[in-house]
Amino acid sequence: MIRARVLISGDPLSLSRGAEKTKLAIEAEISYYGLEDEIQVSYLTHADRTDILPIVMIYPEGVTYGPVTPEDGAYIVQEHLYKGRVIEHLFAPPEVLTGDIAHIPGRKGATYAQKRIVLRRAGVINPLDIEDYITHDGYFALAKALEEMQPEEVLETVKASKLQGRGGAGFPTGLKWSFVVQQPGEKYVVCNADESEPGTFKDRLILEGDPHALLEAMALAGYAIGAHEGWIYIRGEYALAKERLNKAIQQAKELNLLGDHILGSDFSFDIHVHAGAGAYICGEETALLESLEGKRGIPRIRPPYPTVAGFRGKPTVVNNVETLANIPPIIQNGADWFRSMGTERSPGTKVYTMLGDVNITGLVETPMGTTLREIINIYGGGMKDGKAFKCAQTGGASGSIIPPELLDVPMDFASMAESGAALGSGALLIAGEDTCIVDLAYVLLRFFKAESCGKCTPCRIGTAQMLEALERLRMGYGTQVDLDRLEEIAHYTKEASFCGLGQAAPVPIITGLRYFREEFEAHTRGECPTGVCPCSVKQKVKH
Amino acid sequence: MDAQLAQQTDEVIKHYGTDAEALVEILRDLNQIAGHLSPEHLLLIAQRLNLPSSKVYSVASFYSLINIKPLGRHVIRFCEDAPCHVAGGREVWEALEQELGIPFGETTPDRQWSLLTTSCIGACAVGPVMMIDDEIYGNLTPEKVHEILTQYREADKGGAV
Ligand SMILES: Cc1cc2nc3c(=O)[nH]c(=O)nc-3n(C[C@H](O)[C@H](O)[C@H](O)COP(=O)(O)O)c2cc1C
Ligand code: SF4
Ligand code: FES
């Protein structure tokens, strides 16, 4: 399974500057380290900038190096791909990055410093080396908790921090933990690492770049709620992350940071990694628990909630990777420190993957409450090609469409909800004026229809019917009747669906109609204002 | 029963054990080794884990990384998610269907190509993106799709001579 992609600019200018030698050097080094099966090297057909060629880009991190000599290339393999450390002195200068070139802003030379909590170590330490983690404050919080704090104090600190779940819904983490504490008997900690929201790869960066942070966080959660076993349910495609987690668990056990009587205390905790097999619905926590038990990933009826009857029917805390990554720094630095960042109602930071019509795409971690306008202008380097902003889509089951009217709303869970939008799990697809809203709704619906598990009729039939109506509108066969029907089914599906997937599927249509109704109406007349849909082609032929 | 098949299956089961909780992981890993899971595989797993074969089949058919139908010589996985789509994925989607003469989800009658979709693989910044077997191709256009597929066809022809 491929875990990283290396793209080398292969345009004539780059080739004349030795791009081929750089590519050969990189490939040789990759095979030296035996990474051929994990890393894929290819040419990038075009690069906009001529002054830093040849460039080398590495995904999923979206780091850009340039110009890169063959020696630099070999060094990049050693440091970045093998040890997981980015090499700042080889970064392409951020001010020259444009177009489809992405990087992680906030590093050397960037115009605006980011607040980093969750991503502070990713790309800085060697994820395969527990010593490196420990010298960067690693396992400090766990040691502090076991030596100085009672489980109740850990729980109280998390509660006081007002940390909210980063998996999409923003549920208060401390409160969730306290529900489990109240239950009798055996308990479990489950980490939701099924990350499959389109355009989201933030959890992957933590899993691959800072795996011990997650283990430490889960042990702290276990200590606070009285659990002795934890499970990481990881997306089936994340082969490298799985391997790194397993290695990290091994290392932690060797140092008695996991296992029996951790650091000589009375607390014992073990962690298992369980990989999924490709089903978006398994990100929904009750479907995840079904899948973890070896079954089809079909959501369970709630209540009982997982906090009462979760994995193997026992009280279970299910938390997202990013949520958990916040726990060790909170225990280490205290709730007040955490609350000093972000907003009153949503403290801390949020990690986004920004894509689409902005100049700089990639991962961004900013304080909660940063507005979308700030994110686009400061971190995204503004809109691409000077396009006007049309909307943003916050991705997947927990997202919504954000129109220009909301550009200045502080992005936190409550403020977004009050504005009728949703923060989601961290994808930010920025769409410029030439995006067709009907076409966007169509592709989002296609995703939901494909991923519907089929358990309940409103979602199974509703997504199919909405997709069909959108298809008619795109093709130019749709009428006002189709549009009315689309709206009716959308509301019905939202109200009647069994789980979050079906409830979210109509949201692009409902929010799209709220802000861009005239654009849907134009399609009933066979007109696509942006000229994106097939109906506009038909129009052109007619004339 | 095919000895290799039994050996593959038992190796995976040895790693995960015979608890029903391991079923999804066993199916996924075996699929990766065997390419797809035949009825014999499923039956054998059912026996080893002491589960009804209908349950094993129903779990196997649920997950997209588990194939219960054989696939073509090359498998194309095209990213169909919104970030790739707005970057020009729609035209590429149509070009792929036209070029291969099959809709998504199918395999060509000569069993050379399977055309599947995948969700986001985190390379959205160079979207639209597809994978052919384990190779990734970014910044796709209909013209590039034609070029790439032609290269594969020619390489395959060359290999057969
Ligand atoms: C269809 C669907 C998909 C989801 N996918 C994910 C996911 O991939 N990762 C995740 O952490 N939460 C996902 N969630 C949210 C989880 O159900 C759950 O709320 C979350 O894991 C709780 O963790 P948190 O409180 O730390 O956010 C999804 C929800 C739904 C309805
Ligand atoms: S809403 Fe959709 S995904 Fe959720 S249970 Fe119903 S069919 Fe399955
Ligand atoms: S949306 Fe296509 S790779 Fe992410």
Q: Are the CB atoms for A256 and A274 separated by under 8 Å?
A: no
- Verify that B96 and B151 share a domain, yes or no: yes
B81 pocket-lining for ligand 3 (C-beta < 6 Å): yes
What pLDDT sits at residue A107? Answer: 34
Residue of A171, A318, A320 to mutate, ligand 1, most atoms within 8 A of C-beta:
A320
Counting every residue written for chain A, the total comes to: 543
Round to whole Å and give the CA distance between A499 and A497. Answer: 6
pLDDT at B13 over 90: yes
What pLDDT sits at residue A54? Answer: 87
Q: Are the CB atoms for A452 and A501 separated by under 8 Å?
A: yes
- Verify that B55 and B122 share a domain, yes or no: no
Round to whole Å and give the CA distance between A413 and A424. Answer: 8
- Verify that B81 and B142 share a domain, yes or no: yes
Tally the domains of chain B: 2
- Asked if the structure places residue B67 within a domain, the reply is no
Name the H helices within chain B.
3-16, 23-34, 39-49, 53-62, 82-84, 90-100, 142-160
pLDDT at A106 over 60: no
CA-CA distances (angstroms) from residue A251 to A225, A262, A447, B54?
A: 24, 13, 39, 40
Closest CA to A234 of A220, A221, A250, A245: A245
- Verify that B55 and B79 share a domain, yes or no: no
- pLDDT, one tens digit per residue, over A419-476 is 988 888 889 999 999 999 999 999 999 999 999 999 999 999 999 999 999 999 999 9
Question: Domains in chain A and their CATH numbers?
Answer: 4-96 (3.40.30.10), 130-338 (3.40.50.11540), 345-432 (3.10.20.600), 437-542 (1.20.1440.230)
Q: Are the CB atoms for B100 and B64 separated by under 8 Å?
A: no
Round to whole Å and give the CA distance between A410 and B6. Answer: 58
pTM, two decimals, is 0.84
Nearest ligand, CA of residue B79? 3
In the structure encoding, which two tokens stand for residue A452, read together? 């519907």
Nearest ligand, CA of residue A427? 3
- Asked if the structure places residue B118 within a domain, the reply is yes
SS3 for A238-272, per residue?
Answer: CHHHHHHHHHHHHHHHHCCCCECCHHHCCCCEEEE
pLDDT at A300 over 60: yes
In the structure encoding, which two tokens stand for residue A108, read together? 């050397």
pLDDT at B32 over 80: yes
What pLDDT sits at residue A102? Answer: 32
- Verify that B55 and B84 share a domain, yes or no: no
DSSP A471-535: HHHHHT---HHHHHHHHHHHHHHHHH-SSHHHHHTTHHHHHHHHHHHHHHHHHHTT--TTS-SHH
Round to whole Å and give the CA distance between B96 and B109. Answer: 16
Sign of the Cα torsion A178, A180, A185, A190 reads negative
pLDDT at A324 over 90: yes
For ligand 2, residues with CB inside 6 Å are A 281, 299, 452-456, 459-460, 497-499, 501-502
What pLDDT sits at residue B159? Answer: 62
- Verify that B45 and B112 share a domain, yes or no: no
The mean pLDDT value for B127-150 works out to 88
In the block, which residue shows the tokens 């029917």? A313
The pLDDT-based confidence of A205 (bands split at 50, 70, 90) is confident
pLDDT at A269 over 90: yes
CA-CA distances (angstroms) from residue A496 to A304, A331, A446, A510, A524?
A: 19, 41, 19, 15, 27
What pLDDT sits at residue A97? Answer: 44
What is the ipTM for the molecules in this complex?
0.88
pLDDT at B49 over 90: yes
- pLDDT, one tens digit per residue, over B75-95 is 999 998 888 888 888 889 999
pLDDT at B161 over 50: no
- Asked if the structure places residue B161 within a domain, the reply is no
Chain B environment of A276 (Cβ under 8 Å):
24, 28, 63, 65
Residue of B81, B90, B93, B116 to mutate, ligand 3, most atoms within 8 A of C-beta:
B81
Closest CA to A435 of A538, A531, A324: A531
What pLDDT sits at residue A98? Answer: 37
What pLDDT sits at residue A173? Answer: 98
Contacts of A325 (CB under 8 A, 6+ apart): A117, A118, A206, A210, A213, A214, A217
Contacts of A243 (CB under 8 A, 6+ apart): none
Q: How far is the CA of A305 from the centre of ligand 1 (A)?
A: 14
Angle (CA) B22 B27 B33, round 5°: 125
The mean pLDDT value for A52-65 works out to 80
Q: Which residue has the higher pLDDT, A36 or A290?
A: A290
- Domain end, chosen from B62, B82, B108, is at B62
Round to whole Å and give the CA distance between A198 and B120. Answer: 5
Q: Which residue has the higher pLDDT, A393 or A237?
A: A393
- Verify that B38 and B89 share a domain, yes or no: no
User: Domain with B107 in it: what CATH number?
Assistant: 3.40.30.10
Q: How far is the CA of A22 from the centre of ligand 1 (A)?
A: 42
Note whether B23 contacts A: Cβ–Cβ < 8 A. yes
Chain B environment of A2 (Cβ under 8 Å):
131, 134, 136
What pLDDT sits at residue A135? Answer: 87
Closest CA to B25 of B59, B72, B50, B74: B59
Least confident of A133-137, A261-265, B6-10: A133-137
Round to whole Å and give the CA distance between A417 and A423. Answer: 8
- Domain end, chosen from B24, B39, B62, is at B62
- Verify that B58 and B88 share a domain, yes or no: no
Note whether B33 contacts A: Cβ–Cβ < 8 A. no
- Verify that B58 and B91 share a domain, yes or no: no
What pLDDT sits at residue A543? Answer: 46
- Asked if the structure places residue B137 within a domain, the reply is yes
CA-CA distances (angstroms) from residue A200 to A8, A257, A295, A484?
A: 23, 31, 26, 33
Q: At what angle do helices B39-49 and B53-62 cross, to 10 degrees?
A: 120
Round to whole Å and give the CA distance between B17 and B7. Answer: 15
The pLDDT-based confidence of A310 (bands split at 50, 70, 90) is very high
| Cα B109 to chain centroid, rounded | 17
Which backbone phi and psi does A315 adopt, to 5 degrees? Answer: -55, 130
Q: Are the CB atoms for A397 and A168 separated by under 8 Å?
A: yes
Q: Which residue has the higher pLDDT, A63 or B9?
A: B9
Put simply, the answer to whether A59 touches B125 (Cβ < 8 Å) is yes
Q: Which domain holds residue B151?
A: 74-156
Contacts of A7 (CB under 8 A, 6+ apart): A42, A43, A44, A56, A57, A58, A59, B126, B138
- Verify that B138 and B87 share a domain, yes or no: yes
- Domain end, chosen from B23, B38, B62, is at B62
Least confident of A177-191, A377-391, A507-521: A377-391
The pLDDT-based confidence of A540 (bands split at 50, 70, 90) is low
CA-CA distances (angstroms) from residue A309 to A185, A201, A221?
A: 11, 30, 18
The mean pLDDT value for A114-143 works out to 86
What pLDDT sits at residue A85? Answer: 82
- pLDDT, one tens digit per residue, over A359-380 is 877 788 889 999 999 899 888 8
Closest CA to A374 of A112, A185, A93: A112
Least confident of A8-12, A52-56, A501-505, B98-102: A8-12
What pLDDT sits at residue A113? Answer: 44
B88 pocket-lining for ligand 3 (C-beta < 6 Å): no
> Quick one: chain A helix, strand, coil %, rounded to 5?
45, 15, 40
- pLDDT, one tens digit per residue, over A150-174 is 999 999 999 999 999 999 889 999 9
Cβ-Cβ pairs closer than 8 A, A with B, add up to 140
What pLDDT sits at residue B143? Answer: 94
What pLDDT sits at residue A89? Answer: 84
- Verify that B141 and B80 share a domain, yes or no: yes
Least confident of A115-119, A412-416, B3-7, B79-83: A115-119
What pLDDT sits at residue A1? Answer: 58
pLDDT at A542 over 50: no
Query: Could you give the percent of chain B with pLDDT greater than 90?
Result: 68
- Verify that B23 and B52 share a domain, yes or no: yes
